[in-house]
Amino acid sequence: MNRLLARFTIWRTIFALLLAAGAYSAYLRVRYGLGGVTNLSDQFPWGLWIGFDVLCGVGLAAGGFTLVAVVHIFNIERYKPILRPAILTAFLGYLLVVLALLFDLGRPDRIWHPLVMWNPHSVMFEVAWCVTLYTTVLALEFAPAVFERLGWKKPLDWLKWISVPLMIAGVLLSTLHQSSLGSLYLIVPYKLYGLWYTPWLPVFFFMSAICVGLAMTIFESWHSSRAFGRELELPLAAGLARVLAVLLMTYLFVRFLDLEQRGALALLRENRTETWLFGLEILLLATPMLLLFRRSVRWNPGKLYACAVMVLFGFIANRLNVSVTGMEASSGTHYTPRWTEVAVTLAIVALGFALFRVMAKQFPIFEERHATPYRQMASSETRETEGVLVGVRNAT
Amino acid sequence: MPKAILYDSTLCIGCKACEGACADRWRLPYDDKIAAESRLSAHKLTTIQTFGERFSRRLCMHCVEPTCASVCPVGALHKTALGPVVYDAEKCMGCRYCMQACPFQVPVYEWHSRLPKVRKCDMCYDRQRAGKPTACAEACPTGATTCGERDALIAEAQRRIAEKPHDYYQRIYGLKEAGGTSVLYLSAVPFEQIGLRTRLPQEPLPALTWRVLSAVPNVVSIGSVLLGGVWWITNRRDAVAREEGGKR
C-alpha cells in the first residue's frame, strides 16, 4: 500500500512538474517571442511544435472519424462501445492542436484570420477551415454524452436529428485535412528529401492517419481498461488490429511502390541520417504489421498493446521525418528543439491524458451494457490511478 | 508593364551600396557589423555575398507566380500588377508557411519581437509606383543592379551575353526558374557557383498544390453522395433484417 502510494505520488509529481515546466515555457514564449524559446530560424521556420504537436496531434486524433465511419456509416454496430472514447480522444486531440498552434503562431491573437481573410489557393487555408469545422463537429458528436449526464432531452433530440449529415461532414472534413497536412509539403519538391517527397503525400498522409487512428483506439481502450477498472474489449480491439494489419500492409506496399516508381530506392543505399531514420520509421510500422497478422498476438492484450504503441511511434517517426529530418539537408542548418519547445510539447501531452481522465469520469463515455461492469469499487480506485500514471509515463 | 531588377554579377564590385540604400529605405540600422553579415535577416533585406573573386546579391526574387502568395492562408502576400510581391503585416498571423515554401528561402522573420512580422524586399513598391527606380538600383555605382521593365531587361541581358560571349555564362537566371522571376541574374560562371539554387522546377510551384486543392469540391460532392449512399444501404439492410426477423 505504501509502495503504491509512493508510486502514485511520484507520478503525480512528475505530472505537476511537466505542467509547471510547460507553464514557465509559455511565460517565456509570451515574454521573449519565438526566438527566445525555440531553435527555429529563417532557414528552419517549422520545428517540433508543427512537426509533433500539429502533424502528429491531428493524426493521433484520427480514431474519431475512422470509428464514426465504421459504426454509423458502415453500420458495424458491434464497435459502438469504443466509439465514444474515440470521439473524446479526437475532440481533446483537436483542442490541444489548437492550443499548440497558439504557441507556434507568431501572432496567436490572429488565429481567426483565415476564417475571414480567404485564400483558396492555400493548403493552410483549407486546413484551417477543416480543423475549425471538424472541431465543431467533434464537439457536437461528443455533446450527447454531456446532455445525457445533465439529463437534457430536447438538445439530445435535435442532435439525433442532425446526426447523420453531421457524421458524414465529419468524415469528409477529416479526409480533406488529414490528407492536406501532406499536401502542405507538396510545395517543397526541392527542399524535402527524396525518400519522403512524392506527389502522393496527401494519399499517404490519409492512409497513415487511418492506421494510427485505429492504433490510437486500441491504445486508448487498453489504458481506459486499466484506468477505469474495466475489461479490455478484446474482441473489438483484436478486430481493429486485424484491419490495421491489412491497412499497414497496403500502406507500406504503396510507399515502396512509389519509391520504386520515382527511382528513389537508390537513396536507401546512401549512408546518411535520412536513410537510417527512414529505416526506423519503416521498422516501427512493418514489425507490428507482421505481428498483428498472427491471431495469438491480436488476442493477447499485452502484445496487442505493444503493437499499437509501435504503430504510434512509427507514425510519429514518419511525421517528424517529413517535417524535420527530410527538411534539414536543404535548409543548410541543423535543428534540434530547445528545452522549452520540448517542455511545451510534453505539457500538452500530459494535459491530454489528464483531460481524458477527468472527462471520462464526469461523462458517460463507456457503455455499461456492453462492457463488463466496474469491478469492486475498492480495487478500482487504485487501478484508476495506476492506469493514468502508466498513461502519462508512456506518453512521455 | 511589370517591373523587374537585373543584377549583373560581372559588373558588381561588392561595394554594398545597395545594402546601405536598402537599410535607409526601410529605416533599418546599418553599420560595419551588419555589412559583414552575409545572410538575409529581419534587419537585412538584401545582401551581397562573396564567392572568391565574384559577388552575388540576394533579395526577394518577386516571382511571376509567387509561391509565398499562393501558400499564405490569409492572403497577406500578393503579386502586384506593377511586379513587386508585397506583404500586408496587418493580415499576417505568423504561420511562416511562406518561409517554408519559398523556393529561394527569402522571407525572414522577426524572431525576437513580441508582435513579429515577416520581412522581405518589396522592390520599393512605393518608389516604383511614383516612377522612381528602386533604392538599390539608384545607389549602385557600376550599373550591376538596374531596374526597369521585365521584357526590356531580358532583352538587355540577352544583348550583353551576345556582345561579350566570353564574359558571360550563356544563360539568364530567373527567366524560367520556378516559373520565372522578376529579379534576373547574369554571371560569368554557372549560377550555382555564385550561390543560386539551380535545382528548381521550370514550372510555377503553386500548380503543385492547386492540383490537389482544386479536387476539394469533387471530394466533397462525390464523398457525401458516396457516404450517404453507404449509410442508406447499410441502414436499410438492417431495417429490412429487423422487419423480416419480426415477421417470423
Q: What is the DSSP string of A305-353?
A: HHHHHHHHHHHHHHHHIIIIIHHHHHHTS-----HHHHHHHHHHHHHHH
Q: Kindly tell me if the per-residue pLDDT of A386 is higher than 60.
A: no
- Indicate the pLDDT class of residue B243, thresholds 50, 70 and 90: confident
Q: Which residues in A103-122 are b (16+ Cβ under 10 Å) and which e?
A: bbbbbbebbebbeebebebb
Would you call B92 and A107 a contact, using CB atoms and an 8 Å cutoff?
Answer: yes
Q: What are the CA-CA distances from residue A328 to residues A331, B115, B166 (Å)?
A: 5, 27, 38
Nearest residue in A to B207, CA atom:
A187
Residues A193-220 have a mean pLDDT of 96
Residue of A324, A48, A313, A51 whose CA lies nearest to A193: A324
Would you call A42 and B105 a contact, using CB atoms and an 8 Å cutoff?
Answer: yes
Smallest Cα distance from A325 to chain B, Å: 14
Chain-wide mean pLDDT for chain A? Answer: 89
Smallest Cα distance from B69 to chain A, Å: 8
Would you call B93 and A186 a contact, using CB atoms and an 8 Å cutoff?
Answer: no
Give chain A's domain count.
1
% of chain B at pLDDT higher than 70: 99
Q: In this structure, how many other beta carbons lie within 10 angstroms of the beta carbon of residue A351?
A: 18
Strands B183-186 and B3-8: parallel
- Indicate the pLDDT class of residue A390, thresholds 50, 70 and 90: very low
**pLDDT single digits (tens) B98-140:** 999 999 999 999 999 999 999 999 999 999 999 999 999 999 9
CB B115 within 8 A of CB A107: yes
What's the pLDDT at A297?
Answer: 94
Best probe of the B interface among A37, A42, A48, by most B CBs < 10 A, is A42
Residue A127 with chain B: CB contacts under 8 Å? 73
CB A223 within 8 A of CB A395: no
- Indicate the pLDDT class of residue B241, thresholds 50, 70 and 90: confident
Q: Kindly tell me if the per-residue pLDDT of A381 is higher than 50.
A: no
Task: Starting at the earlier edge strand, list the strands of the sheet with B145-149.
Answer: B145-149, B3-8, B183-186
What's the pLDDT at A376?
Answer: 36
Smallest Cα distance from B165 to chain A, Å: 31
Would you call A113 and B74 a contact, using CB atoms and an 8 Å cutoff?
Answer: yes
Q: What is the per-residue DSSP string for A209-273? A: HHHHHHHHHHHHHHHHHHHTT----HHHHHHHHHHHHHHHHHHHHHHHHHHHHTT-GGGGGS-SH
Would you call A111 and B200 a contact, using CB atoms and an 8 Å cutoff?
Answer: no
Q: Which residues pair with A133 in a beta bridge?
A: none
Would you call A30 and B71 a contact, using CB atoms and an 8 Å cutoff?
Answer: no
Q: In this structure, how many other beta carbons lie within 10 angstroms of the beta carbon of residue A189?
A: 17
Q: How many CA atoms lie within 13 A of A201 on its CB side?
A: 29
What's the pLDDT at A368?
Answer: 60
Smallest Cα distance from B101 to chain A, Å: 6
Helix (H) or strand (E) holding B23: helix B17-26
- Indicate the pLDDT class of residue B247, thresholds 50, 70 and 90: low
Q: Kindly tell me if the per-residue pLDDT of A391 is higher than 50.
A: no
Would you call A114 and B73 a contact, using CB atoms and an 8 Å cutoff?
Answer: yes
Smallest Cα distance from A167 to chain B, Å: 10
CB < 8 Å from B in window 228-287 of A: none
- A252 within a domain of the structure (yes/no): yes
Secondary structure (3-state) at B213 = helix
Q: What are the CA-CA distances from residue B35 to residues B41, B54, B142 (Å)?
A: 12, 17, 19
- Indicate the pLDDT class of residue A1, thresholds 50, 70 and 90: low
| Nearest-by-Cβ selection for B224 from A41, A168, A187 | A168
Q: Which residues pair with B5 in a beta bridge?
A: B147, B183
CB < 8 Å from B in window 177-216 of A: 179-180, 183-184, 186-191, 199, 202
**pLDDT single digits (tens) A239-268:** 999 999 999 999 999 999 999 999 999 999
Q: In this structure, how many other beta carbons lie within 10 angstroms of the beta carbon of residue A285?
A: 25
- Write the ipTM: 0.91
CA dihedral A38, A41, A44, A50 (to 10 degrees): 30
Would you call B213 and A114 a contact, using CB atoms and an 8 Å cutoff?
Answer: no
Residue of B12, B104, B64 whose CA lies nearest to B207: B64
Residue A41 with chain B: CB contacts under 8 Å? 111
Would you call B94 and A105 a contact, using CB atoms and an 8 Å cutoff?
Answer: yes
| Nearest-by-Cβ selection for A42 from B40, B91, B216 | B40
What's the pLDDT at A7?
Answer: 67
The whole domain housing A236 covers 49-368
Secondary structure (3-state) at B181 = strand
What's the pLDDT at A385?
Answer: 40
Q: Which residues pair with B79 in a beta bridge?
A: B85
The cell 492555400 sits on which residue? Answer: A122
**Going by CATH, does the domain composed of B3-206 fall within 2.60.120.10?**
no
Secondary structure (3-state) at B19 = helix
CB B206 within 8 A of CB B70: yes
- A379 within a domain of the structure (yes/no): no
Does residue B242 sit at the A interface (CB-CB below 8 Å)?
no
Q: Which three cell numbers stand for residue A345?
A: 510539447
The cell 485505429 sits on which residue? Answer: A214
Would you call A42 and B101 a contact, using CB atoms and an 8 Å cutoff?
Answer: no
CB < 8 Å from A in window 171-200 of B: 197, 199-200
**pLDDT single digits (tens) A70-83:** 999 998 988 988 99
Secondary structure (3-state) at B86 = strand
In angstroms, the CA B167 to CA A68 distance is 67
3-state class percentages of chain A: helix first, strand second, coil last, to nearest 5? 80, 0, 20
Q: What is the per-residue DSSP string for A347-377? A: HHHHHHHHHHHHHHHHS--S-TTTSPPP--H
Q: How many Å is the Cα radius of gyration of chain B?
A: 25
- Indicate the pLDDT class of residue B156, thresholds 50, 70 and 90: very high
- Indicate the pLDDT class of residue A387, thresholds 50, 70 and 90: very low
- Indicate the pLDDT class of residue A389, thresholds 50, 70 and 90: very low
Does residue A175 sit at the B interface (CB-CB below 8 Å)?
yes
Q: Which three cell numbers stand for residue B94?
A: 505568423
- A377 within a domain of the structure (yes/no): no
| Nearest-by-Cβ selection for B205 from A111, A176, A187 | A187
| Nearest-by-Cβ selection for B93 from A40, A43, A107 | A107
Would you call A106 and B95 a contact, using CB atoms and an 8 Å cutoff?
Answer: yes
% of chain B at pLDDT higher than 90: 92
What's the pLDDT at A229?
Answer: 77
Q: Which three cell numbers stand for residue A105?
A: 503562431
- A284 within a domain of the structure (yes/no): yes
Residue B107 with chain A: CB contacts under 8 Å? 42
Residue contacts between A and B (CB atoms, under 8 Å): 169
**pLDDT single digits (tens) A16-54:** 999 999 999 999 999 999 999 999 999 999 999 999 999
Residue of A18, A16, A88, A103 whose CA lies nearest to A52: A103
Single-letter code of the amino acid located at B104 = F
- Indicate the pLDDT class of residue A313, thresholds 50, 70 and 90: very high
% of chain A at pLDDT higher than 90: 76
Residue B199 with chain A: CB contacts under 8 Å? 190
Smallest Cα distance from A228 to chain B, Å: 33
- Indicate the pLDDT class of residue A119, thresholds 50, 70 and 90: very high
**pLDDT single digits (tens) B32-76:** 999 999 999 999 999 999 999 999 999 999 999 999 999 999 999
Would you call A189 and B208 a contact, using CB atoms and an 8 Å cutoff?
Answer: yes
* Cα angle for residues A161, A90, A221 (degrees, 5° grid): 105
Q: Kindly tell me if the per-residue pLDDT of A375 is higher than 50.
A: no
In angstroms, the CA B135 to CA B133 distance is 6
Secondary structure (3-state) at B149 = strand
- Indicate the pLDDT class of residue B1, thresholds 50, 70 and 90: confident
What's the pLDDT at A379?
Answer: 40
Q: How many CA atoms lie within 13 A of A27 on its CB side?
A: 6
Best probe of the B interface among A121, A173, A335, A341, by most B CBs < 10 A, is A121
Residue A202 with chain B: CB contacts under 8 Å? 212
Q: Which residues pair with B86 in a beta bridge?
A: B78
CATH value at residue A72? 1.20.1630.10
- Indicate the pLDDT class of residue B18, thresholds 50, 70 and 90: very high
Would you call B41 and A164 a contact, using CB atoms and an 8 Å cutoff?
Answer: no
B71's CB contacts (< 8 A; 6+ apart) are A121, A122, A123, A124, A187, B97, B98, B100, B101, B206, B209
Q: What are the CA-CA distances from residue A387 to residues A186, A321, A381, A383 (Å)?
A: 41, 31, 10, 6
**pLDDT single digits (tens) A91-106:** 999 999 999 999 999 9
Q: Kindly tell me if the per-residue pLDDT of B20 is higher than 90.
A: yes
Strands B54-58 and B77-79: unpaired
Report domain extents, chain B.
3-206, 215-247
